[in-house]
Amino acid sequence: MLDCVRSDGKSVNMKFCEELNLEKKWQMNISCVVECPVNCQLSEWSAWSACSQTCGLEGKMWRQRAVVQASQGDGRPCSPQMEQWKPCPVRPCYRWQYSPWSECRVENVVCGHGTRYRNLTCYVSDGSREGEGSLVDEELCNSLKLAVDGDTEIVLKEACNLPCPGECYLLEWSDWSSCVSVCAKGAGVDFGSVQVRSRAVLAQEPENLQLCPDQAWESQPCTGGQCYEYKWFSGGRQNSTRPSIWCQRSDGLNVTGGCPPMNPPVDNSSCDPLCLMPKSFCSEAAVCVCEEGFTEVLSPVGQLDQCAPIPILEIPTAGDKKGDVKTSRAINPTLPSTLQPGRSGRTWYLQPYGPDGKLKMWVYGVAAGAFVLLIFIVSMIYLACSSCAKVHRSLKAQESDANGTALWMGQNAHEMIYTCPDCQEHAQSS
């Protein structure tokens, strides 16, 4: 803006400067181009795409549009929504699935090797992971490829073993556990993640437990395992089935193992009556049990009366001397003897009581054998004395003979009489 200023700096009317024809040193206007406003132009929406899932509730369809003309000047700007989606029409999900295995079947025998079977069935679900679905007619799955979880090799029977009485066997493998990180929480040390599964030993008779294989377990690496912290907890059992001492993971899950085995909380309050016997402690099942190397001796009412040492008989191996058979106390009544390095012999544990506090069958067998042996000894003594009495009567009859001679005399007669003390007395008195 141009202004007319007086010598004292005060602005005055422009006519004073125009009357004096003063020179204008500044350009007062310039040519320019004013753009017209242009609105944004978008293309039409595309057709809906195919559904992302063939069935179930989680499928989606998409469509897009593009910018044809960008906005200019004061024109309407473009919308940021260039893509849309909507859920797919709900369709049921059909799949082939195995039925559970049948029991092991054997032919014409009661135990041994056999075969078990399973069927291929059709299931329907909503496609979510919650629930396995419902069993439907197999015709609804006829259009599907014959496969189970992507595996086209269908197995409907397999060999199995039905244990005979007194035998033991392994159960089926458990499901894989969740992925857990092997770490030291708080120390920033991570050794990777693993998941495990196991199969337990099942024994029909406690006496056969030592003949069973060890419990088997497998592990495999995994990714995304969470690092947990394990701590001991203790508390009362008031109207609760929770043990008074338990191991808990940092996510609140009660577990067996994981906590440091040394120095767990000492609390016998969960056992009633308290475990006051030497070498006894309260187990997680709220029952008083004995430490390793000792066996439980129960009272008539089923309570722990004392913890008796377990004698064991160590059978020497080929590398041992003949005099190495000895009796000592068991260190762990469920494991082979490892008292001496390099020893691989089997240890027989002379434990008279079973886990239920009752005498084992072999104790009754030993008692019966001892009773039979006692009867045998008494019978032999009786037969020997009866034979001696007959000899004595024969000697008496011969001594009354007119000739005054006896047929049974000398060392042989004395040896026979000596076998029975009663006969000895009769011989001496005669």
Q: Do residue 348 and residue 371 come from a single domain?
A: no
How is 70-135 classified by DSSP, letter by letter?
Answer: --BTTSPPPPS--EEEEEPPPB-EEEEEEPPPPPPB-SSSSSEEEEEE--EEEEEE-SSSSS--EE
> Are both 128 and 235 inside the same structural domain?
no
Q: Are 138 and 241 part of one and the same domain?
A: no
Q: C-alpha distances in angstroms, 150 versus 58, 94, 144, 154, 405?
A: 20, 14, 11, 11, 109
Q: How confident is the model at residue 419 (pLDDT cuts 50, 70, 90)?
A: very low
Note whether residue 127 is domain-resident: yes
Q: CA-to-CA distance for 159 and 107, rounded, in angstroms?
A: 13
How high is the mean pLDDT of the chain? 74
Q: What is the mean pLDDT of residues 380-390?
A: 78
**Domain count of the fold of the chain:** 5
Q: For residue 402, name the pLDDT band (cuts at 50, 70, 90).
A: very low
Cis amide bond preceding 89, omega within 30: no
Are 208 and 133 in the same domain? yes
> Which uninterrupted H or E stretch holds 425?
helix 421-429
Task: Tell me, yes or no, whether 174 lies in a domain.
Answer: yes
Q: What is the dihedral of CA 404, 407, 412, 413, to 10 degrees?
A: -60
Of 409, 382, 384, 380, whose CA–CA distance to 394 is shortest?
Answer: 409
pLDDT tens column, 44-83: 999 999 999 888 888 999 999 999 999 988 889 999 999 9
> What pLDDT does 210 receive?
66
DSSP state of 50: P
- Whether this model's pTM surpasses 0.85: no
Q: Using the predicted structure, report yes or no on whether residue 356 has a pLDDT greater than 70.
A: no
Specify whether 212 is located in the same domain as 99: yes
CA distance 243 to 236: 8
395 lies in some domain: yes
In this structure, the answer to whether residues 98 and 212 fall within a common structural domain is yes
**Residue 10 within a domain:** no
| pLDDT exceeds cutoff 60 at 155 | yes
Enter the tokens of residue 331: 């260190």
pLDDT of 181 > 70? The answer is yes
**Same domain? 320 vs 351:** yes
Residue 182 and residue 110 share a domain: yes
* Greatest C-alpha distance within the chain: 205
- What digits encode the pLDDT tens for the residues 200-226? 776 656 666 666 766 677 888 888 888
209-213, 240-244, 378-382, 392-396: segment of lowest average pLDDT: 240-244
Q: Model confidence at 353, in pLDDT bands (50, 70, 90)?
A: low
pLDDT band at residue 90 under the 50/70/90 scheme = confident
pLDDT for residue 418: 42
Intra-chain end-to-end CA distance of the chain, in Å: 173
Q: In terms of domains, do 243 and 139 share one?
A: no
- Structural domain contains residue 168: yes
pLDDT(407) > 50: no
Q: What is the mean pLDDT of residues 225-248?
A: 66
Give the Cα-Cα-Cα angle 189, 194, 197 (nearest 5 degrees): 145
pLDDT over threshold 80, residue 179? yes
CATH number at residue 45: 2.20.100.10
Residue 11 lies in a domain: no
Q: Does residue 124 sit in the same domain as residue 213?
A: yes
Is the predicted pLDDT of residue 177 greater than 60, yes or no? yes
Instruction: Tell me the three state secondary structure of residue 304.
Output: strand
- Choosing from 185, 217, 249, the residue where a domain stops is 217
The type of residue at 320 is D
Domain that holds residue 45: 38-72+83-90
- Above 90 in pLDDT, residue 84? yes
Give me the pLDDT at residue 325, please: 40
β-bridge partners, 247: 232, 255
Main-chain phi, psi angles of 117, to 5 degrees: -130, 160
Average the pLDDT over 96-116 and give the result.
87
**Average pLDDT score over residue span 176-188:** 75
**Domain check: are 104 and 205 in the same one?**
yes
- pLDDT reported for residue 56: 85
* 335 has pLDDT over 60: no
Domain boundary among 303, 325, 359: 359
Does residue 247 sit within a domain?
Answer: yes
Higher-scoring residue by pLDDT: 76, 269: 76
293 conformational bin, left if phi > 0, alpha if psi -120 to 50, beta if neither: left
Domain boundary among the residues 359, 386, 418 is at 359
More confident residue, 85 or 358: 85
Output the pLDDT for position 315: 47
Q: Within this chain, do residues 47 and 139 fall inside the same structural domain, yes or no?
A: no
Kindly indicate the confidence band of residue 415, based on its pLDDT and cuts at 50, 70 and 90.
Answer: very low
Question: Looking at the domain assignment, is residue 32 inside a domain?
Answer: no
Residue 411, pLDDT > 70, answer: no
